[in-house]
Structure 1
Amino acid sequence: MRLTTIRKAALAVLAMGLAAGAAAQEATLRLVSAFAENGIYVQRLQPWINKFNAEGKGVLQINFIGGPKAIPTFEVGNAVKTGVVDMAMSTGAFYTNVMPESDFLKLTQIPVAEQRKNGAFDAINKVWNEKGNMQYLARMVENQPFHIYTNKKIDKPDLTGLKIRITPVYRDFFQSLNANVITTPPGEVYTALERGVVDGYGWPIGGIFDLNWQEKTKYRVDPGFYDAEVSIIMNLPAYNKLSQAQRAYLQKQLLALEAENGFWTKYAADETARQEKAGIQAIKFDAATSKAFVDKAYEVAWASAAKQSPEVAARFKPLFSPK
């Protein structure tokens, strides 16, 4: 009787030890979004997080903390750098305060799958590791060109006299078009348009309906330029703490996330049609003017990049550009 009791107790202790070992092997990563929770980017990320957690039990989990109400948009990069959170979904334009090179990601003109093959991803991570204390994990948005949206019609690429809301993404380009530029968080743009504080703004082809900006927007200037970059970044020490199995699992799920990027091409077409239906008129230039407009966007941006960080810009440009 006593032996049976001892045996049972021993088995219970062993089971507890195995459970504790399994729990110790599982890690939870805190993730925050620089974008609002009701927006398309978080909507696309949530199913991925659910799948990640369902398949990662005992290995790796993600705790989604929330959007800008948890950590303000322009503070997210520093929160990742300092380890306040482990991961973030953001765009480089929102953490240029951590490192100006983050804004260079808009200049990629090749798919993320090719960036992984041609050395671009490794080059990015060398800079992110050294300057940002971060690991650049995955790019989850592609084929989302930026546009100028305005309430005043223009007949040429000239923004003289217009007050345009900007982020670092297009500051230099819009200034080269003679705009008066104003920086505000996305959450303040609707009111700024309503009160006439700004005449327009820069934004990708998608997402304006998430913020109801279509109510205060009359025109979209075509063609688009650059490519909106939304990516997953991670605190470098937190990344380095992961076991080999955890890192392999994370990489598997990140590649699965990038494999869904084909969604964005159709989304861009759908959003263009939706804008037209909402009464937003497209301003189009002739072929030569359109080409010059886009060429100028890249020339200005690469010149600015070379001024900010010559060595990094020189390293990135051939890796980001089509052959």
Structure 2
Amino acid sequence: MTNINRCFGLAVFGLLSSSLGAYAQEVTLKAAGAFPEPFYFMTPFFDFVDEVNEEGKGLVQIQYVGGPESIPTDQQPLALRNGVIDVLYSSTAYYTGIVPEALLLQASNITPVQARESGALDDLDEVYRERLNATFLAHFGGGANFHIYLKNEPTLTEAGLPDLAGLKIRSAPNYTKFLEKLGATPVTIPPAEVNTALERGVVDGIGYPAVAFTQNGFQNYVGYRIDPGFQQLDLVLNMNVDVFNRLSDEQRDFLVEKARDWEEKVFEINSQQAASEKAEMESAGMQFFVLDDAASTEYLDIASSTILESVKERAPDLADELFSKLTTAD
């Protein structure tokens, strides 16, 4: 070997060794969240980050760079796709134009663990990789459903369903069609303005999750909750796939294991929080209007089918198969 070739070989080896060594060093991932820090939905995520940073010293760290005050919520998915941030904790509602199939998480009636076992989350991971340049780390939305809350006692149709005809209900995109099928007029109002809207009679009720409800003081303005809860929270933890692939095997395995562990933990946390808030609602004098079995089945079918219809309009190829995997536990 000539001296020139020998020097070139040593230089290449040195570069490779340096690169491999960099991957083996502690990696700091930049993360953003869709909600303001005091909001309940952020609490499980911050607990997850704390555990990763405590147990991942020398391996993986997560640096929270901020929420919507740093990067507007609707711009966060693009920031993730383009590598401006490495990790995103958000609702699927904020990127329906990019990954409409992810909305089906809201229609799910099984736990995140069951959804992973059915293969649904693996299917979603493939879609996320293709459309958002991201990998699906975890579903942190299990354990809490949505409810309709009314100022006045609800009336029922002959079929035993809530008759919301003539009522204006604060809505969100995931259940707007559901409310319309029950006869209501959906109204879009930011959470911070809901109490004022209820007090002034702008709306007759609200749709909202079973968690983060009492934090906002909504129980002071509504008197009835319709049970059962419908749909499911759709909070998802994603990571830029290019950054994910650059991690060492040890770093990837650690991060995936932690995300899967917290998928189960968050389900329990949300379930406990929902039970705790229900007790607070009860203490505030709220009454729980429970539909009979037949009406409950139809009520939940309408709620989930409206999600499926919306997804099929935008992404028909995978919708039915994914819906089946998310609504049928093995």
TM bracket (short chain): 0.7 to 0.9
The equivalent residue for 1:123 is: 123
Cα deviation digits, residues 235-289 of structure 1 (max 9, x gap): 2222223222221111121122123132333332222121111222222333322
Residues 302, 258 of structure 1: alpha-carbon distance in 2 compared, 3 angstrom cutoff: same
Contact 1:38 1:210 in 2 (8 A): no
How far 1:23 sits from its partner (Å)?
9.1
Question: Which amino acid is the alignment partner of residue 107 of structure 2?
Answer: L
The equivalent residue for 2:12 is: none
- The share of aligned pairs that are identical, in percent, is 36
How far 1:130 sits from its partner (Å)?
1.3
Question: Which amino acid is the alignment partner of residue 243 of structure 2?
Answer: A
Contact 2:26 2:61 in 1 (8 A): yes
The separation in 1 between residues aligned to 2:30 and 2:276, in whole angstroms, is 33
The equivalent residue for 1:210 is: 215
Question: Which amino acid is the alignment partner of residue 136 of structure 1?
Answer: F
How far 1:61 sits from its partner (Å)?
0.7
SS of aligned partner of 1:170: helix
Question: Which amino acid is the alignment partner of residue 206 of structure 1?
Answer: V
1:312 to 312, 318, 321: 318
Contact 2:223 2:285 in 1 (8 A): yes
2:229 to 224, 227, 230: 224
The separation in 2 between residues aligned to 1:59 and 1:236, in whole angstroms, is 18
How far 1:216 sits from its partner (Å)?
2.5
Matches within 5 A, 1:63-78: 63-78=63-78
The separation in 2 between residues aligned to 1:203 and 1:288, in whole angstroms, is 23
Residues 154, 259 of structure 1: alpha-carbon distance in 2 compared, 3 angstrom cutoff: closer
The separation in 1 between residues aligned to 2:105 and 2:234, in whole angstroms, is 7
Cα deviation digits, residues 50-74 of structure 1 (max 9, x gap): 2211221222110112333223334
The equivalent residue for 2:159 is: none
1:35 aligns with 2:45: no
How far 1:22 sits from its partner (Å)?
6.7
Contact 1:138 1:232 in 2 (8 A): yes
State the TM-score, normalized to the length of structure 1: 0.85
The separation in 2 between residues aligned to 1:268 and 1:45, in whole angstroms, is 17
Question: Which amino acid is the alignment partner of residue 294 of structure 1?
Answer: L
Question: Which amino acid is the alignment partner of residue 316 of structure 1?
Answer: L
Residues 186, 78 of structure 1: alpha-carbon distance in 2 compared, 3 angstrom cutoff: farther
The equivalent residue for 1:92 is: 92
State the TM-score, normalized to the length of structure 2: 0.84
What is the RMSD computed on CA atoms of the aligned residues? 2.4
Residues 280, 77 of structure 1: alpha-carbon distance in 2 compared, 3 angstrom cutoff: farther
The separation in 1 between residues aligned to 2:198 and 2:238, in whole angstroms, is 32
The equivalent residue for 1:25 is: 25
Unaligned ranges ≥5, structure 2: 1-16, 157-161
The separation in 2 between residues aligned to 1:277 and 1:179, in whole angstroms, is 28
How far 1:161 sits from its partner (Å)?
1.8
The separation in 2 between residues aligned to 1:189 and 1:202, in whole angstroms, is 11
The separation in 2 between residues aligned to 1:23 and 1:305, in whole angstroms, is 39
How far 1:32 sits from its partner (Å)?
1.6
Contact 1:73 1:185 in 2 (8 A): no
Residues 45, 214 of structure 1: alpha-carbon distance in 2 compared, 3 angstrom cutoff: same
Question: Which amino acid is the alignment partner of residue 163 of structure 1?
Answer: K
The equivalent residue for 1:292 is: 298
The equivalent residue for 1:10 is: none
Contact 1:23 1:58 in 2 (8 A): no
SS of aligned partner of 2:62: strand
Residues 87, 193 of structure 1: alpha-carbon distance in 2 compared, 3 angstrom cutoff: farther
How far 1:24 sits from its partner (Å)?
7.2
The separation in 2 between residues aligned to 1:85 and 1:236, in whole angstroms, is 11
Question: Which amino acid is the alignment partner of residue 42 of structure 1?
Answer: M
The equivalent residue for 1:139 is: 139
The equivalent residue for 2:6 is: none
The separation in 1 between residues aligned to 2:121 and 2:307, in whole angstroms, is 20
The separation in 1 between residues aligned to 2:124 and 2:274, in whole angstroms, is 26
Residues 182, 240 of structure 1: alpha-carbon distance in 2 compared, 3 angstrom cutoff: farther
The separation in 2 between residues aligned to 1:235 and 1:124, in whole angstroms, is 14
The equivalent residue for 2:110 is: 110
Deviation larger for 78-87 or 101-110: 78-87
Cα deviation digits, residues 216-242 of structure 1 (max 9, x gap): 222211111112122211222222232
The equivalent residue for 1:196 is: 201
The separation in 2 between residues aligned to 1:81 and 1:192, in whole angstroms, is 37
Matches within 5 A, 1:125-274: 125-156=125-156, 157-260=162-265, 261-274=267-280
The separation in 1 between residues aligned to 2:295 and 2:181, in whole angstroms, is 15
Contact 1:75 1:95 in 2 (8 A): no
Cα deviation digits, residues 193-231 of structure 1 (max 9, x gap): 344333322111111122222232222111111121222
